[in-house]
């Protein structure tokens, strides 16, 4: 399945809307009553979403699948601080 098959004509208006995308990689899959997809479908959806960001030329910051949310927050805050320093502000 290619992203191009499902690309919307409106995608160009989203191109470069943001400088970077924080992409949360999946945590271990746990099926419950709220989740309607299986692990294979969830992985495919994740792959397609990431591919769409790549197609839109976004810089992707991958956030490792860690159960510790504070680790992900630290990475995001450090990246934002780095960008702010690079911009001189």
pTM, entire model: 0.67
Helix (H) or strand (E) holding 68: none
Q: Are 31 and 70 in contact (CB under 8 A)?
A: no
Q: How many domains does the chain have?
A: 1
Q: Please tell me the predicted confidence (pLDDT) of residue 50.
A: 92
Give me the domain span that covers residue 8: 3-86
Q: Are 38 and 76 in contact (CB under 8 A)?
A: no
* 58 has pLDDT over 60: yes
Mean pLDDT of 43-66: 87
Q: What secondary structure does DSSP assign to 2-66, as a single string?
A: -HHHH--TTGGGGTTSSSEEEEEPPPPP---TT--S-HHHHHHHHHHHHHHHHHTT-EEEEE---
What value does the mean pLDDT of the chain take? Answer: 78
Q: Please tell me the predicted confidence (pLDDT) of residue 16.
A: 63
Helix (H) or strand (E) holding 77: helix 69-86
């Amino acid at each position: 399945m290619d992203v191009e098959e499902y690309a919307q004509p409106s995608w160009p208006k989203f191109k470069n809307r943001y400088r970077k995308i924080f992409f949360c990689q999946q945590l271990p899959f746990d099926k419950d009553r709220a989740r309607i997809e299986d692990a294979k479908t969830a992985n495919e959806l994740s792959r397609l979403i990431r591919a769409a960001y790549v197609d839109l030329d976004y810089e992707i910051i991958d956030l490792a699948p860690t159960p510790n949310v504070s680790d992900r927050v630290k990475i995001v805050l450090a990246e934002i601080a780095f960008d702010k320093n690079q911009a001189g502000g």
